[in-house]
Amino acid sequence: MKFSEQWLREWVNPKIKTNELAQKLTAAGLEVESVEAVGKDHVIELGLTPNRGDCLSIRGVAREVAVITDRKVLFDPQAELHSAPAQIGATLKILLKAKEQCPRYTGRIIKNVNVTAQTPREIAERLEKSGVQAVSIIVDIANYVMLELGQPLHAFDLDKLQGDITVRMSKNEEVALLDGTTAKLGKNTLVITDDKKVVAAAGVMGTLDSAVSDTTKNIFVESAFFDPKAIAGKARKFNINSDAAQRFERGVDFELPPIALERVTDLILQHAGGQAGPVCENTETENLPSRDPVRLSLHKLKNLLGADIAADKVASILQALDMQVEQKGEDFVVTPPAHRFDIKIAEDLIEEIARIHGYDQILEQALPVTPGKMPSETDVSVQTIKQTLVDRAYHEVITYSFVDATWQKIMFPDEAGQELLNPISQDMSIMRVCIWPGLLKTFSYNQNRQQSDMRIFEIGQCFRLRGGQLLQSDMLAGLISGQCYPLHWKLPQRPVDFFDAKGDLEALLAMVGIKEAKFVPAEHNSLHPGQTANILLDDEIIGAIGALNPRLAKEFGIKGPVFLYELELASILRRSLPTCQPISKFPAIRRDLALLVDDTVSAAVISAQIKACAGTLLSKIEIFDIYQGENIAKGKKSVALGLILQDFSHTLIDEEVNTLIQKVIADLEKHLQATVRE
C-alpha cells in the first residue's frame, strides 16, 4: 500500500515528523517498507500482512494513525457525506442469484457525464504517488475513492448494458476483459451480467464490451460487497493484476458500499458533471457477514503478555479501534467493527492491545518453567526413525502436501481428496491422501536426469475425508529403485527387489522392538498385483508395501521397477523394552527338513506353524533353500529349513529330538498338507 503523506494528513495530522510517523506505524504492525521524498511530499509504502486488508486505504491507515498517536480523524465521508438528491428517475433493477457470494449490491445511473473532462491535478498526483496510472476522469475517480475508502468500484457504459443487472455464478462463459485478455470463467466464477451477456468478473475486472470509452455519455456505477472466498484466487487464475481483487479477497467493509457510492457520485458530479439517479440497491441482510462477540479475560491477557494492563486502558484501546466493548467483571465482551475480518478469538484482541499499548512498554519477564514429562524408555523419536533409514542409505525428501489431482485420482480412485479453493498451481490442486505421489514425482524428476539409483523417504501428514470430516494422519513412506549396491569391483550388480524394501522395513520395525508384524499378500490399485502386501500389527493394517503397478509406471513415464511402502507413524513411535534371558549351558542340535508344499504357502506361514508346534525347545529356524523346477511337481515348491533345538536344563538326546521332529512333520502334514521331500 503506497500513499501520499500529505493526503493522509488531511485525514489525521499528528504533530510528529515523517520518520517518527513511520516508526510508529511499524511498531504498530503496519511495517513501513520505504519512505520516498517527492517534492514537498513523501510517499510511504506499507508492507501489510494479508489479515490487514482494512488498511489498504487512506481511511484505514488514518484510523490506525489516530489510535497510535491519540488523535481524532479529521475527515470521514461516512459522517460528512449525505445522499445526493436524485436529479433523474432512471434506475436499474438488481437481481441477486448468488446471495451468499454477493449479499449487497448498490449502484447508480449518472447521465450526461463529460468523460473527456481533465482529471483534477490533485487526484492524478495522488493516484500516481499510490502507484496507479491516471487513465480517464471516470476511472480515475473510481480508483481515487478505492484508495481513499478501500471500496473497489466499477463504472459501466449504461448504453452498452442490455437490461437489468444480475449477479450469478458463471456458466462456462468466455469473456474479453478490460486489459485485452480473454478469460474462461468456468462454473465457479462470480459474474455481473445484463440480460444478454457477462459484463464483469465480479470483484476482478469488467469486460471490454461494457467499458466506458471516449464516446460514453451515460454510466452505471457499481459499489458492492463480495464474499472474500468467492473472489480469492480469481485474478491469479486469469493471470491478471487487480487492485479490486486484492482488496475483496482480503475482506472489504460490508457497510461501505453505499458510503463509497455517495463519495464517487459527489466527485463525478463535481468534476465530470451529469445528473444522478436514485441509488439502486439489493441487500440480503441474512447473508451479510456477522461480527460475533469475542470474550476476553484480564487474567488471560496478563498470562499471555506478561504485563498487567489496567482494565480502563484495555477498554480505551479497544474502543479507539472502533470495537464495541462491554465489561463484565474481569471479562470483556468485544464486538469487532465491520471492517475487521481478522478478529475472531481472544488472542486476536490481545494482539491488538499489545501493539497499540506498545511492545516496548511490555517489560521482559522470565517465564515460569514447569517441569515437563520425562521421556519414557518406550518412546521413539522421529529423529531416531529418520536416522535408521539414513543409515540404510536413504535420503530424506520433503514434498508438497498438495498434489496433482489427476495423479491422485489414478493412484487412489476410491479416495475423495480435499480440493483447494486457492491452489498454488494446477498440479497442486488437492491435498494428498498418500505420500507416494510426491515420492514418485521426485523419482521421475531425478530419473529424467539419469539418476535412477534411489532410496528416498518422507515423513509427513496425509489428509483423508471420512464422513465429511478431514482427518490428518502422520505417515512414513519410502521408495527404492535402481541397483542394490553402488558399483564395486568385488560385488555383483543386481537391481533392488521387493525383499530389499521389506528388509528395510523389517530393520526399522526391529529397531523399535516390533517382532509381531506380519506381511500379508494383498491388492492395491497403485501396486503390482503379484507383489503387494499389507503390514499387520495385532491384526490391524498399519501400512502397505509393494512394487509400483506397471500400468502407473507407464502412465507417469517411469522406467524400471520401483518399490514403495507406507507406514502409520504412530504405530512405530513406541518400542517394546528389550528383555534378557540366560544363555543355555547345553549344546544345540540342528535338524534339517526339506518340505514339499503348495507354491501358495509362504515361508512365513511354515515358520509360524513350526513354532506353534515345537514349543520352547525350538530356539531358531533358518530357511536356507527354496526350489521349484525339475523333479518338483507343478504348483509345488521345496522349502529347506534348519531347526535349531536347545534346552536350558539338560543336553537333548536323539530320542526326544526325533520325537519332536516327527511331531512337527505330522503337524505340517495336517495343517499345510506338507510332505517331506526324499
Read off the CATH number of the domain in which 513 is found.
Answer: 3.30.930.10
Q: Of 282, 232, 240, 237, which Cα lies nearest the Cα of 258?
A: 282
Strands 402-403 and 469-481: unpaired
pLDDT at residue 569, rounded to an integer? 92
The pLDDT confidence band at residue 360, using thresholds 50, 70 and 90, is confident
Q: Is residue 81 part of a domain?
A: no
Over the stretch 226-267, which tens digit does the pLDDT of each residue have?
999 999 888 888 888 889 999 999 999 999 999 999 999 999
Q: Is residue 583 part of a domain?
A: no
Strands 395-396 and 402-403: unpaired
**Is there a single domain that holds both residue 224 and residue 241?**
yes
Backbone angles phi, psi at 267, to 5 degrees: -70, -40
**Is there a single domain that holds both residue 472 and residue 613?**
no
Q: Is residue 345 part of a domain?
A: yes
**CA–CA distance, 158 with 210 (Å, rounded to integer):** 8
Q: Residues 600-605: what's their mean pLDDT?
A: 86
Number of Cβ within 10 Å of residue 37's Cβ equals 10
To 10 degrees, the CA torsion angle through 273, 260, 229, 29? 130
What does pTM read for this prediction? Answer: 0.62
C-alpha cell at 462: 496425509
C-alpha cell at 658: 526325533
* Final residue of a structural domain among 521, 542, 572: 572
Backbone angles phi, psi at 637, to 5 degrees: -150, 160
**CA–CA distance, 2 with 9 (Å, rounded to integer):** 14
**Is there a single domain that holds both residue 563 and residue 601?**
no
**Is there a single domain that holds both residue 129 and residue 221?**
yes
**Is there a single domain that holds both residue 192 and residue 276?**
yes
Q: How far is Cα of residue 116 from the mean position of the Cα atoms in its chain?
A: 48
The pLDDT confidence band at residue 602, using thresholds 50, 70 and 90, is confident
DSSP designation for 560: S
Q: Is residue 305 part of a domain?
A: yes
Pair 32, 26: CB distance under 8 Å: yes
The pLDDT confidence band at residue 221, using thresholds 50, 70 and 90, is very high
Pair 5, 62: CB distance under 8 Å: no
Q: Is residue 653 part of a domain?
A: yes
Q: Is residue 584 part of a domain?
A: no
**Is there a single domain that holds both residue 44 and residue 161?**
no
Q: Is residue 549 part of a domain?
A: yes
Q: 80 pLDDT exceeds 70?
A: no
Over the stretch 120-148, which tens digit does the pLDDT of each residue have?
999 999 999 999 999 999 999 999 999 99
**Is there a single domain that holds both residue 69 and residue 104?**
no
**Is there a single domain that holds both residue 299 and residue 281?**
no
Pair 332, 299: CB distance under 8 Å: no
Q: 513 pLDDT exceeds 80?
A: yes
DSSP string, 574-630: B-PPP---PPPSS--EEEEEEEEEETTS-HHHHHHHHHHHHGGGEEEEEEEEEE-ST
Please, is 642 exposed, middle or buried when counting C-beta atoms within 10 Å of its C-beta (0-12, 13-18, 19+)? middle
Pair 91, 161: CB distance under 8 Å: no
| CA–CA–CA angle 248, 252, 258 (5° rounding) | 115
Question: CATH no. for residue 329?
Answer: 3.30.56.10
C-alpha cell at 221: 456505477
Pair 349, 336: CB distance under 8 Å: no
Strands 540-548 and 527-537: antiparallel
The structural domain count of the chain equals 5
CA-CA-CA-CA torsion sign (59, 63, 69, 71): positive
Q: 82 pLDDT exceeds 70?
A: no
**Is there a single domain that holds both residue 515 and residue 453?**
yes
Q: Is residue 364 part of a domain?
A: no
Domain region containing 45: 2-75
C-alpha cell at 656: 526326544
Q: Is 299 left (phi over 0), alpha (psi -120 to 50) or beta?
A: alpha
**Is there a single domain that holds both residue 562 and residue 595?**
no
* Final residue of a structural domain among 507, 542, 572: 572
**Is there a single domain that holds both residue 479 and residue 437?**
yes
* Final residue of a structural domain among 13, 48, 75: 75
Question: CATH no. for residue 608?
Answer: 3.30.70.380
Tell me the C-alpha to C-alpha distance, in Å, between residue 212 and each of 151, 185, 429. Answer: 19, 22, 37
Over the stretch 408-451, which tens digit does the pLDDT of each residue have?
888 998 888 888 887 878 788 899 999 999 999 999 999 999 99
To 10 degrees, the CA torsion angle through 120, 123, 125, 129? -170
Please, is 602 exposed, middle or buried when counting C-beta atoms within 10 Å of its C-beta (0-12, 13-18, 19+)? middle
**Is there a single domain that holds both residue 46 and residue 129?**
no
Q: Compute the mean pLDDT over every residue in the chain, rounded to the nearest whole number.
A: 90
